[in-house]
Structure formats: structure tokens, C-alpha cells
Amino acid sequence: MANATTLGFYEVITFCLFFSFVVVVTQSAPENALVTQLPGFAGTFLSKHYSGYVNIDQSHGKNLFYYFVESERKPSEDPVVLWLNGGPGCSSFDGFVYEHGPFNFEAAKTSGSLPQLHLNLYSWSKVSNIIYLDSPVGVGLSYSKNQSDYVTGDLQTATDTHAFLLKWFQLYPEFLSNPFFIAGESYAGVYVPTLSYEVVKGIDAGAKPVINFKGYLVGNGVTDDEFDGDALVPFAHGMGLISDDLYEEVKNECRDNFYSPLSDTCESKLQKVDEDIRGLNVYNILEPCYHEPETPETADVKIRLPSSFRKLGETDRPLAVRKRMFGRAWPLRAPVRDGIVPTWPQLLNSQSIPCTDDEIATKWLNDAAVRKAIHAEEETVIGTWQLCTDNILYDHDAGSMIKYHKNLTSAGYRALIFSGDHDMCVPFTGSQAWTRSIGYEIVDEWRPWTSHGQVAGYLQGYENNLTFLTIKGAGHTVPEYKPREALDFYSRFLAGKPI
Ligand SMILES: *[C@@H]1O[C@H](CO)[C@@H](O)[C@H](O)[C@H]1NC(C)=O
Ligand SMILES: *[C@@H]1O[C@H](CO)[C@@H](O)[C@H](O)[C@H]1NC(C)=O
Ligand SMILES: *[C@@H]1O[C@H](CO)[C@@H](O)[C@H](O)[C@H]1NC(C)=O
């Protein structure tokens, strides 16, 4: 670049004008994406909201839907965070509606009316710009005109989401210099590290625009078949859900391998464990479980699954699922394994999901006026919004996430692995064990962390900025159960402060 001292006065002026002209032009969040009002909300937005589609493949008509909330503090400086719910197959509007979005949704008073939206005091938009993304295509409001795209997996999803990010930052270039983080929970324990790896590969290969990636957060995340599969028995014992005797027996018979039972006696002890815990709410053992009447099996459902999976589903009914939420999860002792990840309907051999009530989100997102306000396609074009879909056929093809975490943290990216300690779906015992197994030196030894003067959980800090953190009393979706504590650790982590 020219040395300023060699430039004449007019040249300097011209240069500066040109420069500021460029700056003005690049501050160009797409105006047609601006959300100006939302049905059900009567107040004033505390920051700007944008939403719409980003096309990632013209020939296929492959469109990913995002909802972007600017920070209510300092949008130009606060981090940008991409939020992903899991499943696979669940919409990130779970995060928006039920967890840490800018509003709390109150159920409609009468059957014909819409839910009412109130400002959320603990929204993550208090301290960050946050993008809620429906991914992969086929999930939530995202869609493709070519149905072959609904057969997908971990690696394809990571590539597609990376393509989305590059395009999104082209649309919102004023956010390129902000620190960028990727966050998610449950099956996003797979999405987050695989996408982070793609982003870093892109940065290293000189992909444009350059994303200012700093690190990632995973909550109650699916990570590794064996660690996650072995986590339930010690959790059940530690929480006082099974007896000391049964714990000793199951440990001995299974030789601490609960993930793939080696003998029939091990298997029968594990069944005793299941019997003791099956009435509990799998997403938070402190919460009541809402059992629905058994649904008659639908004979003509097209099951795309091996019979072993179906059998698992059948034997574990009725399943304990927290009202108002489900993940495309799995019955007890059937953690995610390599290969096709089944949906609840597939697992249960029926089309309905037990014990769930996602009515508020379903009603709101299928309302024509809401769809219009958020620039989403109509129901006649892309169908009904569902919290979790079984439209997609999803292959868990990236294996264990531990190699990704090692690679990313040793390359200098910061990681927070957090866990609601009363979740039985992806219990903290698994996340605690795999973070420890990486073998990093402990730099912040197991200690309580506090929020508003109270112990809010425990943490252990490792070298390379890897932190494992629990949230006391929280279930699978941490910010839903402990919104204030969640905003606290979230803010501290993003700011690079000790939690
Ligand atoms: C959908 O995509 C597949 C794979 O690219 C292609 O073979 C097929 O022709 C496409 N279908 C349509 C209807 O365009
Ligand atoms: C992470 O993976 C990339 C791509 O495989 C490799 O080039 C890089 O050296 C790895 N980094 C570390 C710190 O292991
Ligand atoms: C950990 O994160 C802090 C805050 O971003 C940074 O200053 C430090 O260099 C990081 N340490 C390592 C080992 O990457």
C-alpha cells in the first residue's frame, strides 16, 4: 500500500473518501431480511433482527434458514455465535423459543390465538450476536428442491454449514471482524466440532471471507460411542437411582463395559438398571415425566431401520420424555453409534412421539403471518414446521469427536464443554470422562463456580483452553432450566474470563 507521507493533500482526501465509501457500502446487512414485527409480540425489539434463506446450491435449490438477533449491548464488538440444536433433525428454533432466544413464549390463552411473546431477561443476545440456523436441509424451515439432499450425514452437514457461513458473512460483512464462536447441544456435540474443523481448514486454506473463529461451546453433547455409552451406569449410581449392590454387580459382570455387553449376565444386570430408571424423565431426572397413552402401532409405517433398532424402541416403551421437548434421541442405553441415527418415530415403530408437547413453537411457526414476518416459505411450499423431523435419513459418519476436539484445542481454539448434571440423555459422567481422557494437564483443578453468589456447578480447566463445566440441577437443555446461570457462564466464556 502507498505510504501516506508520499501522498499529496488531495490524494489523501481522495484515498480517505474512497476508503470511507467502501466502508459505508460494506455495512450492508440485507434490508429485505430485516424483521420489523413479530405476531404475538406487542413491545419494541431491543436490537435488530434479520431472517431468511441462504442458498448453498443453486442447481438443487438447497436453502438454509437462519434467524439472526443482533446483540442488545454492542453489536459491532460483541461476538457472533452460531447456535445449533441437535437431533439430528431438530430445528434450532428449539433454542430460540425454549432456551436462550430474545423472547419467552407464553402459551396461547384460547385455542384460536397465537402464543404471546415477552422479552427474555436472560437472552444470549444480551451479550452476543446470535444466528439460529436450521440445519441440515429438511430440518425446521430449511429445505431443498431436490429430495436427494435429505439423505445426509455428519460430513455433508459440516461442509454445507461451512458454505452457509461463508455466504452469510458475505451478506453481513460488518460482522466479519467480530470474534466468532460455534455453539450447540445434544447431537450438535457432533455438528459443532465437525463444523469448527471445516471452518479452520477453510481459514488455513485461505478461504474468503476470512472468518474470525475463536472457539466453540458444546452442551450435553454426543461425542463418543464408548464414553457416552458407558456414562449411564455411574450416573445412575451417583444420583442414587440404583443400589450399591446392583452397582457392584453390574460393574463386575460387565467389567465396566456397559456400552457393548459382553455376556448375558451383564445384559440382565443392565436390564435391572433400566427397570430402576425407566419411569424418570430422561432429560432431567428432577422433573416429572408426562406419559402419554400408548399409541397403536401403525402397520404401514415405512421403517428404514435394522430390526435391532426397532426392537430397542419397543422394549423401552413407554419412554420418559420431558414435556415440551424431545431430541431425536435414543432410548436408554442406546447411544448414538456409527451409521444411521434413528428418529423417535422410527425407534418406536409408530408415527407419534411419546410424552412430548411442542405446541407453542409448532403453533407459532406454522402461522401464516409469522412465516411472512420472518421471511420463511409458506406451509404449502415447504410443509409443516416440526420441532424434530424424520424427513431426513441421517448417517453418523464422522466417528468419535475426540480427535476433532484434540485437533481444535491444540491449534489454539477455545472450548467449553458444559453439562446439565441432571440430564440422563447425555449424562455429565461421559463428558467428564472423555475430557479427562484427552490427557491435557489440569490448570484449574475441580472447583465450584458461582452465579449471583451461589454455587452454580463445578468446573475443571485443562491446558489449551479446554474447560469442562457442570450446571447444578440443570437437565439436557441447560439454558431452559437455568437461564440466569447459563447467561453467566456464557458471557464469561465468550469474554475469555475465568468462569
Ligand atoms: C437431484 O440430485 C441428484 C444428485 O445430484 C441428481 O442425480 C438428480 O438428477 C437430481 N434430481 C432432480 C429432480 O433434479
Ligand atoms: C488438525 O488437522 C489438520 C487437517 O488434518 C492438520 O493439518 C493439522 O496439523 C491438525 N492440527 C493439529 C494441531 O493437530
Ligand atoms: C487461552 O485463551 C486466552 C483468551 O482468549 C488466550 O489469551 C490464551 O492465549 C489461550 N491459551 C492457549 C494455550 O491457547
What does DSSP assign to residue 146? S
pLDDT surpassing 50 at residue 238: yes
With 0-12 / 13-18 / 19 or more C-beta atoms within 10 angstroms meaning exposed / middle / buried, residue 415 is buried
- In a domain, residue 409? The reply is yes
CA–CA distance, 27 with 392 (Å, rounded to integer)? 37
Helices (H) then strands (E): counts for the chain: 17, 17
Tens of pLDDT, residues 267-290 = 999 999 999 998 888 888 888 765
Question: What 3-state DSSP class applies to 216?
Answer: strand
Contacts of 379 (CB under 8 A, 6+ apart): 366, 368, 371, 385
| Per-residue pLDDT, 352 | 38
pLDDT surpassing 70 at residue 296: no
pLDDT surpassing 90 at residue 311: no
* Residues 126 and 151 reside in one and the same domain: yes
* Residues 235 and 266 reside in one and the same domain: no
* Residues 105 and 160 reside in one and the same domain: yes
Q: Which one of 155, 162, 407, 410 would you pick to mutate in the ligand 2 pocket, going by the greatest count of ligand atoms within 8 A of its CB?
A: 407
Given phi > 0 = left and psi -120 to 50 = alpha, else beta, which region is 142? beta
The total of structural domains in the chain comes to: 2
* Residues 137 and 121 reside in one and the same domain: yes
What's the average model confidence in pLDDT over 184-195? 97
User: Largest Cα–Cα distance in the chain?
Assistant: 88
Distance (angstroms) between ligand 3 centre and the Cα of 466 equals 10
| Per-residue pLDDT, 135 | 97
* Residues 386 and 488 reside in one and the same domain: yes
* Residues 169 and 249 reside in one and the same domain: no
- In a domain, residue 16? The reply is no
Ligand 3 site, residue 496, Cβ cutoff 6 A:
yes
| Per-residue pLDDT, 333 | 52
Identify the residues whose C-beta falls under 6 Å from ligand 2: 407, 410-411
Distance (angstroms) between ligand 2 centre and the Cα of 461 equals 23
| Per-residue pLDDT, 335 | 54
What's the average model confidence in pLDDT over 96-119? 90
Distance (angstroms) between ligand 2 centre and the Cα of 219 equals 24
Q: Output the residue whose Cα is nearest ligand 3's atom 1.
A: 465
* Residues 208 and 98 reside in one and the same domain: yes
Tens of pLDDT, residues 347-397 = 554 443 444 467 889 999 999 999 999 999 999 999 999 988 888 999 999
199 or 8: whose pLDDT is higher?
A: 199
- In a domain, residue 120? The reply is yes
Q: Which one of 60, 143, 148 would you pick to mutate in the ligand 1 pocket, going by the greatest count of ligand atoms within 8 A of its CB?
A: 148
* Residues 119 and 267 reside in one and the same domain: no
Q: Output the residue whose Cα is nearest ligand 3's atom 7.
A: 496
DSSP 353-365: -TT---HHHHHHH
What's the average model confidence in pLDDT over 442-465? 98
- In a domain, residue 19? The reply is no
Ligand 3 site, residue 465, Cβ cutoff 6 A:
yes
Ligand 1 site, residue 58, Cβ cutoff 6 A:
no
| Per-residue pLDDT, 199 | 98
Distance (angstroms) between ligand 1 centre and the Cα of 21 equals 43
Ligand 1 site, residue 147, Cβ cutoff 6 A:
no
Q: Output the residue whose Cα is nearest ligand 1's atom 3.
A: 148
| Per-residue pLDDT, 353 | 40
Q: Output the residue whose Cα is nearest ligand 3's atom 4.
A: 496
* Residues 322 and 428 reside in one and the same domain: no
Band (249; pLDDT cuts 50, 70, 90)? very high
Q: Output the residue whose Cα is nearest ligand 3's atom 5.
A: 496
CA–CA distance, 154 with 392 (Å, rounded to integer)? 12
pLDDT surpassing 80 at residue 180: yes
Question: How many Cα atoms occupy the beta-carbon half-sphere of 421 within 13 Å?
Answer: 14
- Tell me which of 307, 336, 360 is where a domain ends: 360
* Residues 345 and 205 reside in one and the same domain: no
| Per-residue pLDDT, 22 | 41
Q: Helices 188-204 and 154-171: crossing angle, nearest 10°?
A: 60
* CATH classification at residue 49: 3.40.50.1820
Residue type, 186: S
Distance (angstroms) between ligand 1 centre and the Cα of 146 equals 6
- Tell me which of 360, 383, 399 is where a domain ends: 360
| Per-residue pLDDT, 108 | 82
| Per-residue pLDDT, 12 | 37
State which residues form the domain around 477.
31-241+361-499
- In a domain, residue 24? The reply is no
- In a domain, residue 466? The reply is yes
| Per-residue pLDDT, 262 | 83
* Residues 402 and 273 reside in one and the same domain: no
* Residues 186 and 135 reside in one and the same domain: yes
What's the average model confidence in pLDDT over 468-479? 95
Averaged confidence pLDDT in the chain = 85
Ligand 1 site, residue 148, Cβ cutoff 6 A:
yes
| Per-residue pLDDT, 281 | 82
Tens of pLDDT, residues 390-412 = 889 999 999 999 999 999 999 99
| Per-residue pLDDT, 294 | 40
- Tell me which of 337, 360, 383 is where a domain ends: 360
What is the CA 192 to chain-centroid distance, rounded?
8
| Per-residue pLDDT, 290 | 59
- In a domain, residue 57? The reply is yes
pTM here?
0.87
Catalytic positions, written as ranges: 186, 423, 476
pLDDT surpassing 50 at residue 315: no
| Ligand sitting nearest the alpha carbon of 443 | 3
- In a domain, residue 65? The reply is yes
How are beta strands 143-144 and 49-57 bridged, if at all?
Answer: unpaired
